[in-house]
Structure 1
Amino acid sequence: MDSQLFKNAKIYLLDKIIENGWMLVDEHGKILEIGEGERASVSNEVSVDVKGMSIIPGLIDVHIHGGNGYSFMDGSYESLAEISSFHSKHGTTSFLATTSTASKEKIIKALNSASESYEKGMPGADLIGVHLEGPFINEKRSGAQEKSDIRLSSKEEIEEYLKASNHLIKLVTLAPEVENGFEAVKYFKDQGVTVSIGHSDANFQEVLEATKLGATHTTHHFNGMSPLHHREPGVAGAGMALKELTTEIIADGIHVHPEMVKLLLDVKGVWNTCAITDAVFCAGLPDGEYERVIVTKGQVYLKDWSTLAGSTLTMIQSLKNVISFTGYSLLDVLPSYTMVPARQAKVEHIKGSLEIGKDADFLIVDDDLTLYSTFVNGIEVYQMTK
């Protein structure tokens, strides 16, 4: 691949916008230089005129189960490749493939496929690891997770999962208050895994104890957790009150009311809020009845209509929603979609911002955040059909 010079662009850095900028990407897909004003390309560079549109960092989703009819729990390279391609068309440049509560054998199959897929590489968004959601959760807050497969954690089972994934597990969702839960928090933390409190009925004191042991994250905040009450803050209140915790948010306007999305951003700030999709296999599919779920107007429910079962949200739509819900600017809110998930997935040294030496993962968008192109490691993996 030749070096590429992207010019005549509005470039979004961490703390400022370069209005008339250019960015040079080397032949290895790394950002080599960023500048302002005019710069002519040289003989070994391909010149790309962005025509005044914006270059923003690629969006990173640390909680994604599937899309376009495919699920990570299918346990195949084909499924992960389809998920990668689908979400790259909607602004995602990196993701953590996320498991669901299931039998040990099914989870191990999915983890094996993640390890294989990581080595092969993805056609769209970069697979940067795994988010292990369950099975070590609280049945009382299980949501759409399979109750029959919920179980207590053990060091032996955790080690099996770490080995099956070739240590690609970057994030784990668990309930610390159940038996063996606190031990699991400490063990995962000691293995370098970001520990998230989710599908949990913990009280404030239990959450506080979990943070002392190393928990630093909450899963789809407000959903699948003990709610905020003025006499017992629960997980929802603890996540808002404790600076040690970064809170995920599904900003589809369904899982969390728009005003509560704004409240969370106002209280936690963009550097402690992590935007996610929680997208499931039916993201991108038309309304209808599928396996265990029904999709109507983009909302996913179990067939008894009792419980939301993931989302059909995409990251670019989430970004538009949060700007609309909060009144924040694009520059203000971008960290929740870029550097924060990169930090929580432990890849902030190579992804999450447009900086020299980092992977050239970026989007070309217009002022309305219409997506024109997605680049991953300097390669265009999606281009809007003209």
Structure 2
Amino acid sequence: MDDRTLVIANGRVCTPFETLDKGMVVVREGRIAFVAPFNRRRLPEGAKVIDASGKIVLPGFVDVHVHGARGYDVMDGTYDAIDRISRFLARTGVTAFLPTTVSAPQERMLASARAVRESTERGVGGARPLGLHMEGPYINPERRGAQNVEHIRPPSIEEVQEVLRACGDRLRMVTLAPEMSGAMALIGFLKERGIIPSMGHTNATFREAMAGFQKGVRHAAHVFNAMRGFHHREPGALGAILIRDDVTVELIADWVHVHPVSIRLLLRLKGSDRVVLITDSIRAAGMPDGTYELGGLEVIVRDGICRLKTGSLAGSTLTLNKAVGNVTKRLGLPLSESVKMATVNPARLLEIDDRKGSLEPGKDADIVVADRDMNISMTIVQGRIAFSS
């Protein structure tokens, strides 16, 4: 048997640019060799064949906003935490992700940055960390959500430079409030270095938000949540986000953070090409109801819903396979559209769509096998089986 060649055969293949009712995905040395209708005569001699009959074969999901899972948090600041999170994510169809911080003292931010660097250099057992997403501490305390107000502070280029050194230049995204003093200078600094400036936890007016976009912001964290909402006389940050065709938005599709009608409106205004499904998961994901910690704050989880004592939502226990299933079933979207929001769109946002986000020749063999309810039976990361039920 050729250990370097793997074939996923007989499943419904969604690339997601095309769908093959009975297709085959051939993998060689960690990359996709070709995708085609199933033909036994085209099976490479000696290849390992995985029968996906009755299943759906998809590109691996990419989650750009993950705080934790299975009792671990990115802010634990250890390689072990990132590795354990990555292994859980693989069980949910995620093959790549951005470990995401919360507002914290600089020492803890640096510890998390070093852990992300170590995890990318050593490798992990599940989904691949693609770099660091800093959510906070440069946000507006008025829209802090579940961020610890004690650690929110003005934007600092010097602090970000320290984080860059600690993570080995693996900082991929910074979520901030553009209306805060010093934010515009930081946005310019990030843009010059190819780091995504993201708007979130913001009380920006329409004019302030538009100024942020003009400076370089091109993405918005968990749309509708922790931001100034829409008013017909002051459209606010939300109005600015919705009207810009060049801005992508994150969506938590758990039916708790955003009402289905709001999601329908979002898709009509932005189109599915500019919506990125995320989980915003915390350490309670994959765990029973109970009391957990996020950024030094107590989080109470009941029926899988995470809240502070104040009642504010505090991240989620959502998994990305469930998010894809939710928008497919509840909203009636075609599977290809739902899958795109968890694969192609985040890959384009991160400018890695030349190697991730779709099942195409030459790209990384990041592949998910699922049933019609989006229960994951197998996850393949760069040609290696990272999870199998």
Q: Which residue pairs with 1:90 in the alignment?
A: 92
1: CA distance between counterparts of 2:168 and 2:179? 28
Shift of 1:18: 1.3
1: CA distance between counterparts of 2:44 and 2:307? 55
Shift of 1:357: 0.6
Deviations 1:247-296 (A, max 9, x none): 11111111111211222122211110011000001111111122411000
CA contact (8 A) 1:2 1:44 kept: no
Map 1:6-17; keep pairs closer than 5 Å.
6-17=8-19
Map 1:1-386; keep pairs closer than 5 Å.
1-26=3-28, 28-40=29-41, 41-291=43-293, 292-302=298-308, 304-384=309-389
2: CA distance between counterparts of 1:345 and 1:162? 17
Task: Find runs of 4+ consecutive structure 1 residues off by over 4 angstroms.
Answer: none
Name the TM-score, length of structure 2 as normaliser: 0.96
Listed as ranges, the gaps of 5+ residues in structure 2 are none
How many residues were matched structurally? 382
Tell me whether 363-372 or 160-169 shows the greater mean CA deviation: 363-372
Equivalent residue of 2:330, what SS?
A: helix
Deviations 1:180-203 (A, max 9, x none): 011111111111011110011111
Tell me whether 33-42 or 318-327 shows the greater mean CA deviation: 33-42
Equivalent residue of 1:215, what SS?
A: coil
One-letter code aligned to 1:299: I
Deviations 1:120-176 (A, max 9, x none): 111011111111101111111111111111111222111111111111111110011
2: CA distance between counterparts of 1:22 and 1:52? 13
One-letter code aligned to 2:236: G
1: CA distance between counterparts of 2:108 and 2:211? 31
One-letter code aligned to 1:224: A
One-letter code aligned to 1:357: G
CA contact (8 A) 1:12 1:56 kept: yes
1: CA distance between counterparts of 2:375 and 2:76? 31
2: CA distance between counterparts of 1:38 and 1:317? 32
Shift of 1:4: 0.8
CA contact (8 A) 2:139 2:200 kept: yes
CA contact (8 A) 1:171 1:344 kept: no
One-letter code aligned to 1:249: L
CA contact (8 A) 1:176 1:184 kept: no
Deviations 1:103-128 (A, max 9, x none): 00000000001001100111011111
Change (3 A) 1:306 1:9: closer
One-letter code aligned to 1:230: H
Equivalent residue of 2:356, what SS?
A: coil
Quote the sequence identity (%).
38
Equivalent residue of 1:309, what SS?
A: coil
Listed as ranges, the gaps of 5+ residues in structure 1 are none
CA contact (8 A) 1:211 1:244 kept: no
Tell me whether 4-13 or 200-209 shows the greater mean CA deviation: 4-13
What's the Cα RMSD here? Answer: 1.2
1: CA distance between counterparts of 2:138 and 2:357? 29
1: CA distance between counterparts of 2:276 and 2:45? 42
Equivalent residue of 1:2, what SS?
A: strand
Name the TM-score, length of structure 1 as normaliser: 0.96
